[in-house]
Amino acid sequence: MLAQPKPADGILLVDKKSGLTSHDVVERFRRRTKVKKAGHTGTLDPLATGLLVLCVGKATRLQAYLMGMEKTYEGTIQFGWATDSYDAAGEPVGEPVEADVEHIDFTPHIAKFLGEIEQIPPVFSAKKVQGVRSYELARKGEAVPLAPKRVTVYEFVILGVETSRVRFRVRSSAGTYVRSLAHDLGGSIGIPAHLKELRRTAIGSFSVEQAIAFDRLVEDTTEQILAPPHFQPLSAIELPLERLRIDWAQQGKMMQGQGVIMVPTIPVHKGDLLALGNPHDQLVAIGEVVNVLREGGPVEVKPKVVLAG
């Protein structure tokens, strides 16, 4: 009898192509590799291309922590007409207008969308209204009362202007709708606009340059797909959390769901989440500081997610 392949635990960086949903990418990966446990860490619209982070095996327990990482995008805004979805996949709204924007100073308009802002999501989005997806209501022609959401735009840079189109780069918090930024920028300038193209280039410290092309999920073997640099094992994953080292005895307690007493090498507070690695620097668990026994001294940490074992 042939030995069963060892389950893969880690993250896979995929360069999604346009026309596919994020779920399509996950399903293609599952079919090709026969790995049942996989999921993504945040959707990318079908129109968009670029980086999609898939959690595989035990790494699916980290999805909630990876979904909150900041994102970086590059794309094109088309001025002259708006669409109902705020991007090129939607239907035009209103009459098109002349739109030569090469003479416009974008600086004061861009400034309105930097920092922490209130953003109204597009009606054609996956946001739920009384348990129903917003886009489902919009397709039926029903009113979609979406509440504004607080997001943070760290960077919004114009890379180039050509007649009625603008190239840009945005770095923002999770949950930011870049197509809303495109639509709202047009509103600020007074010329209707929509998002024509979008490419996600980074999620936290992960770059699209490390990613495997989507087509290789069809052409490559499982061994080629689950190989670096596009596949990163649990021990190599960089979480947006402070990372601390625990010893083997503490790892054993964590694996049994027990808390440990440790002296952190960095300042921590009650409620902080920590990425805990063993002496081989393998990620063991996500722990929560539940008690500070002495200021600057030992703390009690209990596991929230256990990855070892």
Residue from 45, 87, 184, 272 carrying the catalytic annotation: 45
Q: For the beta carbon of residue 216, count every other beta carbon within 10 angstroms.
A: 16
Q: Which residues contact 50 (CB under 8 A, 6 or more apart)?
A: 15, 16, 44, 73, 198, 199, 200, 201, 208
258, 272 contact by CB (below 8 A): no
C-alpha–C-alpha distance, residues 23 and 10, integer Å: 18
184 given a catalytic annotation: no
Q: Would you tell me how many other CB atoms lie within 10 Å of the CB of residue 106?
A: 17
| In contact, 55 and 40? CB cutoff 8 Å | yes
Catalytic residues: 45
